[in-house]
Structure 1
Amino acid sequence: MTKRHILGAVALVAFAAVAAAQTPPMTPDIPSTGFDAVTPQADYVRREVMIPMRDGKKLFTVIVMRKGTNNAPILLTRTPYNAAKTTSRNPSQKIEEILPVADAEFVDDGYIRVYQDVRGRNGSEGDYVMNRPLRGPLNHTKVDHATDAWDTIDWLVKNLPESNGRVGMTGSSYPGFTTLMATIDPHPALRAVVPMSPMVDGWMGDDWFHNGAFRQNSYDYLTGQMASKDDGDPVASGTGDRYALWLKAGSAGDYAHAYGLDAFPVARKMAEHPAYDDYWREQAVDRLLAARPFTVPMMLVVGQWDQEDSYGAPAVYRALKPKDKDGRLHLVVGPWRHSGVNYDGSALGPLRFTGDTALQFRRDVMKPFLDQYLKSGAPRVSTPPVLTYDSGRNRWQATAAIFDTKLKPLYLQAGATLDWNRADAAGRDDYVSDPAKPVPFLPRPIDWDSADVWKPWLVADQRFADGRPDVLTYVTEPLAAPVHILGRPMVDLFAATSGTDSDWVVKLIDVYPDEMSAEPRLAGYQLGIGMEIFRGRYVDGFDKPRALEPGKAENYRFELPTVNHSFMPGHRIMVQVQSSWFPLYDRNPQSYVANIFEAKPGDYRKATQSILTGGATASAILLPVVD
């Protein structure tokens, strides 16, 4: 065979080999082994595991750490908000890009970051129950969020050789709730927790109700979380003005019937328990924790303008403070919206702060706090019992206490004024509250599905309500000196109604000067500092609803959210009083019905509302004024 023939034969063999190696045209194009987007050049390791619980169910868990991590603490979050998506935020090979922004300081310093889907959500097995109650009267199973956290932590410290065996937990909103639940009969490896804006008591002031008034946007949350095991969508009720939509619907119960929301057991539970009965009391996390020893160091965090869970963190702090004998309990109130601590904290609505206050907190306060309990050889830090941000002076302030300040009454006076001195003469101011024309909680049209609307709504300019005939406004003269409040203001309202039920909405407002060349966007601005609603039928107790006696003055006392704010010279202090806050809160029919979810069109009636001033029935707002 000639050389030419030999080369030709080799070429034919090579061609045949290439042809044989080709992928057949009809080979399925989805890889049978899956595709791992994490390539060798990634600077992290990401693992997905199913962790077994004591009842045999397995919970989907994602473990993320920088390559080369060892002797590392574990920071765990248990969430209903999709652990897989949370830990693959961007298709990147950099760990800080795939994780939430707030995780950067931790994974950059050797922490192992763990996210887990709670039972029954997304990748986890089992049944999902909203805010699954602790084992006991409401939960006759063997499992709850306390046991699931214990079993998860036990597995992590035994199966992660890169860890140092110490675990911390954090999370905001629902994950703040699961963080608190983990401290009930905690695993020994759980050394410190940072619950942020935790869901603590859904009736008193977190998410579902505030002092008995139902928050109607709760329905969108239910469908988004429970329409399926995976993430759902808001109620398909259209995209128009929510005010018009809800007014047309009627009661909250009518709306639920119209859109099939009765299919959700949790919606039925809310409607079946309109008063503060054992269903709510047995779930209240502050009550659960108050009945147990305080053992796990805790830093509670909340935003001053938290539009979803302003109640929980301060309530837990007050419940646990008597048990804190060695200074391991802390409270932080920052100038944030709900969960704003985990994002950019430079501004909220029109307000601008001194830098990124959220980053300042995470880097300079939260991480050193966790480090001392979780990292080997980390220095001890001197964390103040209470850290707040004075939103009038724009500065952080450390203090030893926040709820001990003596309350100073600022009295509502005849002539639409406020004064530190009570008027001797008794008076009254009247307005007509018409359920057919409720006071909106924001200027119309209202689109609470928009993040730009919902997130900063508590700092919205209240001038849209000032001057309405169904809103009473009381205001001081311009201040000659600062008035600094720190703590929880309280409403002390003497009021009567011509109806047999009524809601009372009270807003504490900082009125900016009419001329502000340095900050023209705030000229004349009416900034809500603390605002809250109270359902009148509960004047005798939240578990004792009753019809009000027409024309009889009653004393309504309720708290506003926790604040640190200085009303500066030239500003004025304002109080607004009204009887609806719609459509965020359901309308009170103003005629007593056993269950407002079931109110009929004929139950909704106009009422004349009377606010009493001066004398023995002098209405006031009680302010925690400090030097």
Structure 2
Amino acid sequence: MVRRFATALLSSALALAAAVPAMAQTRVTSDIPPGFKPSDDLKDFTIREVQIPMRDGVKLHANIVIPKGAKNAPIIFSRTPYSADKAITGLPSNRYSMALPTAYAELAAAGYIIVVQDVRGRYKSEGDYIIAKPLIGPLNDTKNDHSTDTYDSIDWLVKNVPETNGKVGTVGVSYGGFTTLMSLVNPHPALKAAVPINPLVDGWIGDDWFHNGAYRQSFLDWVYRMSADKSSRYGLQFDRQDTYESWLKAGSVSDMAKLIGVDKLPVFQKAVAHPAYDDYWKEQALDRILAKEPLKVPTLHVHSLWDQEDIYGAPAVYEAMEPKDKGNDENFMIIGPWRHGQNMNLDGSKLGAIDFDGNTSAWYREKVLIPFFDQHLKDGGKNAKLAPVTAFETGANEWHRYNRWPLSCASGCPSQSRSIYFSADGGLGWSAPGGAGGFAEYVSDPARPVTYRQRPILSTYNPQTSWGQWLVDDQRFAEARPDVVTFVSDVLTDDVRLAGQPIAKFFASTSGTDSDWVVKLIDVYPAEYPAAPEMGGYELAISMDIMRGRYRDDPSKPSAIPANKVVEYQLKLPQVSHKFLKGHRIMVQIQSSWFPLYDRNPQTFVPNIFTAKKSDYVKATQRIYSSAKYPSRIELPVIP
């Protein structure tokens, strides 16, 4: 029975197969048609991807963003190591007002063509990548640099973008600020304006790599991302959420570098080989370079008062170029209450807990950036009537117009140096100390270094990090430590306005033979603050920096500090534009470590701190003196 059923089933299947015609074999091909390009018909802009040839044949990738209907339009040109594709990526939209990041969208709306290029050797550009590649010369034996690449790119753009009027302005933040400054060296004739924003200028004195000889070891995270691969696919992975513990456990900077593989990267090897301010650093410093160049291109320097990465560069280049501006109408600067790059695409109403009573970033772009470009790039552009220097005064939350920085302002308010003196009992006052005086003392222990912010300290690129606002952190966490000395004034009975550069001039001794000194100038809010109760007692640092004691006499020639001898130090602090309000107090904090942002000083003089051994790290007794003979103080740029 079963066999008859199976036979019948097989016969039925064969009959059915015979009734269905055989199917022809289908050739499988790609579902991505060759040469297909998405339509721009619904968009109010187009993007052209191009490969621009350089003089040596290397091609650099660029995106050209052209608003529909553009005609005789100027070009805004940016060069970046952080991806030209990412730089023009906003929200998915057919409207450039949404599809582009804020600043580029506003420039497009103002009638500009936007061009963003990958620098040589990064992302889609050909060639070899050298971080902050120096100009052709002793440090660069090739026949190209950022100046030549910019020149060649501009030359190609004005000849191959038919919608342009042939005028170009360069702009960029950070590394892009560096490439913008490079465009001013032998500039192309079509370059008519430049806006370097928070540029890398001098990597030893105060930008990125070092600050006055102290190495920014947290910078290794950036070095790794920029050197391990041309598209920044790799980031450092720390073994702890709190990187303070990771760095302390590792030991010296070189120990950490070996642990994570950074020691194999050329940019770190160069830093180890050049810990002092030798010709390697001097010949790259753009303020020195541009001081020797003629001023051919109107330039707007953009400086951020709380720039956590490149706080030195913009004012230094402005100062270097200013003597060449005979008519006081080509060299401009704006100083804003921002962190690094905040003025371009981020809201400028606040930074951390500090409120500025309005979106200062939007104000800058509308009132300064676009009018500056309009004047110099548009045919028949109107005079922007910018002040040579426009500065936001924190504390008062007001913009001011100055004839120059920091000598005088349009309304006639010359700044003058006025010293505020430390006293051995922790006071701070306008009168110079008399008599024998005394000293304030603390013990600096490399095994328990003072942090640069409250723990836990996340890595720079941790998704939860607040790295961008650490300069405005409440400094009460440091004041509470026994290895930080504090000097504080009486309550102010009048406002105190500052505009310029504070200079710390202090007398100190150490029981060691080397030492770091960190000086902080702080605005202390009233203990009770009705306008914002959460700000009661807040300690807002308005200017702070670090110096390595071995370079006190000559940055290029380190020398041991004589143990237990009083030595005079001078530390130029970052620029300020601030009003200490009546009812507030002025505070100064001094300490000998700022970890893990900066590497620890072993407090024993060694030839190269990068390779210090565990046994080199010793405790040291530090003293800050105050007397008629040793009048430790900060010289403040006060506007009466």
Amino acid at match of 2:102: V
Shift of 1:457: 0.4
Greater Cα shift, 228-237 or 357-366: 228-237
Q: Does 1:385 align with 2:402?
A: no
Residue in 2 aligned with 1:411? 421
Q: Does 1:224 align with 2:234?
A: no
Residue in 2 aligned with 1:583? 596
Match runs of 1:262-301 below 5 Å:
262-301=263-302
Shift of 1:517: 1.9
1:602 to 607, 615, 621: 615
Residue in 1 aligned with 2:212? 211
With the length of structure 2 as denominator, give the TM-score of the two structures.
0.93
Deviation per residue, 1:416-453 (Å, 9 max, x gap)? 00011111123111110000000001111111334642
Cα distance in structure 2, aligned partners of 1:109 and 1:501: 55
Aligned length: 606
Residue in 2 aligned with 1:499? 512
Cα distance in structure 2, aligned partners of 1:452 and 1:245: 16
Residue in 2 aligned with 1:421? 431
Distance 1:357 1:435, change over 3 A: same
Match runs of 1:344-493 below 5 Å:
344-404=347-407, 405-425=415-435, 426-449=437-460, 450=462, 452-493=465-506
Deviation per residue, 1:375-420 (Å, 9 max, x gap)? 0122112111111111110111111122333321100012100011
Q: Which runs of 5+ in 1 are unaligned?
A: 1-18
Shift of 1:354: 2.3
Amino acid at match of 1:491: A
2:337 to 335, 338, 343: 335
Cα distance in structure 2, aligned partners of 1:35 and 1:580: 56
Shift of 1:34: 4.6
3-state DSSP class of the match of 2:629? helix
Greater Cα shift, 180-189 or 446-455: 446-455
Give the conservation status (yes or no) of the 8 Å contact 1:354–1:395.
no
Cα distance in structure 1, aligned partners of 2:48 and 2:512: 61
Q: What is the RMSD computed on CA atoms of the aligned residues?
A: 1.4
Cα distance in structure 2, aligned partners of 1:500 and 1:403: 37
Cα distance in structure 2, aligned partners of 1:347 and 1:452: 17
Residue in 2 aligned with 1:10? none
Deviation per residue, 1:224-252 (Å, 9 max, x gap)? 12211112332122341111110000001
Q: Which runs of 5+ in 2 are unaligned?
A: 1-22, 408-414
Match runs of 1:531-546 below 5 Å:
531-546=544-559
Cα distance in structure 1, aligned partners of 2:627 and 2:388: 39
Residue in 2 aligned with 1:12? none
Cα distance in structure 2, aligned partners of 1:621 and 1:93: 55
Give the conservation status (yes or no) of the 8 Å contact 1:416–1:475.
yes
Residue in 2 aligned with 1:612? 625
Give the conservation status (yes or no) of the 8 Å contact 2:520–2:543.
yes
Give the conservation status (yes or no) of the 8 Å contact 1:50–1:61.
yes
Q: Does 1:564 align with 2:577?
A: yes
Match runs of 1:47-126 below 5 Å:
47-126=48-127
Give the conservation status (yes or no) of the 8 Å contact 1:417–1:474.
yes
Give the conservation status (yes or no) of the 8 Å contact 1:350–1:521.
no
3-state DSSP class of the match of 2:217? coil
Deviation per residue, 1:151-176 (Å, 9 max, x gap)? 00000001111000000010100000
Give the conservation status (yes or no) of the 8 Å contact 2:298–2:330.
yes
Cα distance in structure 2, aligned partners of 1:24 and 1:263: 53
Q: Give percent identity, aligned residues only.
A: 51
Cα distance in structure 2, aligned partners of 1:514 and 1:160: 60
Shift of 1:27: 2.3
Greater Cα shift, 172-181 or 348-357: 348-357
3-state DSSP class of the match of 1:397? strand
Shift of 1:110: 1.4
Residue in 1 aligned with 2:15? none
Deviation per residue, 1:343-402 (Å, 9 max, x gap)? 210110011112110110011111111111100122112111111111110111111122
Cα distance in structure 2, aligned partners of 1:463 and 1:24: 74
With the length of structure 1 as denominator, give the TM-score of the two structures.
0.95
Deviation per residue, 1:163-210 (Å, 9 max, x gap)? 000000101000000000000000000000010000000110001100
Shift of 1:87: 1.8
Give the conservation status (yes or no) of the 8 Å contact 1:505–1:580.
yes
Give the conservation status (yes or no) of the 8 Å contact 2:389–2:401.
yes
Give the conservation status (yes or no) of the 8 Å contact 1:501–1:548.
yes
Match runs of 1:27-46 below 5 Å:
27-36=29-38, 38-46=39-47
